[in-house]
Amino acid sequence: MADYFTHFSCLLDVGTPENAARALDLYNTLSDENDAEDPPSDGFLLSIQPEHGGTHLWMRDDGTGDPEHVIQFVKRCAAEFGLTGRWGMQYANTCSKPRLDAFGGGAHVLDLATGEMVDWIYTDGWLAETISDEGDRI
Output the pLDDT for position 126. Answer: 86
Residue 88, classed as helix, strand or coil, is strand
* Domain positions in the chain: 4-136
| Percent helix, strand and coil across the chain, each to the nearest 5 | 35, 30, 30
The continuous run of DSSP H or E covering 54 comes out as: none
pLDDT tens over the chain, length 138 residues: 999 999 999 999 999 999 999 999 999 999 888 888 777 778 899 999 888 889 999 999 999 999 999 999 999 999 999 999 999 999 999 999 998 888 999 999 999 999 999 999 999 888 888 888 765 554
Output the pLDDT for position 138. Answer: 46
Output the pLDDT for position 134. Answer: 63
Output the pLDDT for position 16. Answer: 96
Give CA separation, 66 vs 61, 70, 87, 92, 132, in Å.
8, 7, 17, 11, 28
Q: How are beta strands 86-95 and 45-49 bridged, if at all?
A: unpaired
